[in-house]
């Protein structure tokens, strides 16, 4: 942050950190804005820019992909992995991406972190 009198200037990296904090577990717009001494409307604007890909720090904008939940594969015969199929056990989730890569993550993974992982593995 650079203080230039009444107006402060935030780097994109700082904005990203604040926005991601507001999306995190237990995060709220009001609490996050108060912690960083910014207005709620400013944080709402940054969140909108983040969703539209305007505040992504060079990353592609977030996209939603339809998924199908499938039962966990049995040890005797694993299911054929289809793109967009998510197998969920009590503590793990296995995601088969459109490009054929498979991602196995903790079922409690933060959605923002998961979105970045998926973007890194399947940038199409």
- Could you read off the pLDDT of 55-96 as tens digits, one per residue? 766 555 555 566 666 665 554 444 555 556 565 566 777 877
Other C-beta atoms closer than 10 Å to the C-beta of 28 total 12
Q: Which helix (H) or strand (E) holds 40?
A: helix 40-51
Mean pLDDT rounded to a whole number for the chain: 75
pLDDT, residue 97, reads: 76
pLDDT tens profile 85-99: 565 566 777 877 777
Which of these CATH numbers, 3.40.50, 1.10.10, 2.60.40, 2.30.42, describes 2-51? 1.10.10
Q: How far apart are CA 86 and CA 92, in angstroms?
A: 10
Does pTM top 0.85 for this prediction? Answer: no
Q: Which residues contact 43 (CB under 8 A, 6 or more apart)?
A: 18, 19, 22, 29, 32, 33
């Amino acid at each position: 942050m650079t203080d230039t009198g009444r107006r402060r200037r935030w780097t994109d990296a700082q904005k990203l950190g604040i926005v991601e904090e507001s999306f995190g577990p237990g995060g709220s717009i009001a609490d996050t804005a108060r912690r960083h001494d910014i207005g709620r409307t400013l944080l709402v604007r940054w969140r909108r820019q983040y969703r539209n890909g305007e505040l992504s720090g060079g990353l592609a904008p977030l996209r939603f992909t339809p998924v199908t939940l499938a039962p966990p594969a049995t040890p005797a015969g694993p299911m054929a992995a289809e793109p967009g199929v998510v197998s969920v056990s009590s503590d793990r989730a296995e995601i088969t991406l459109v490009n054929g890569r498979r991602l196995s993550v903790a079922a409690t993974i933060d959605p923002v972190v998961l979105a970045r992982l998926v973007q890194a593995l399947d940038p199409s």
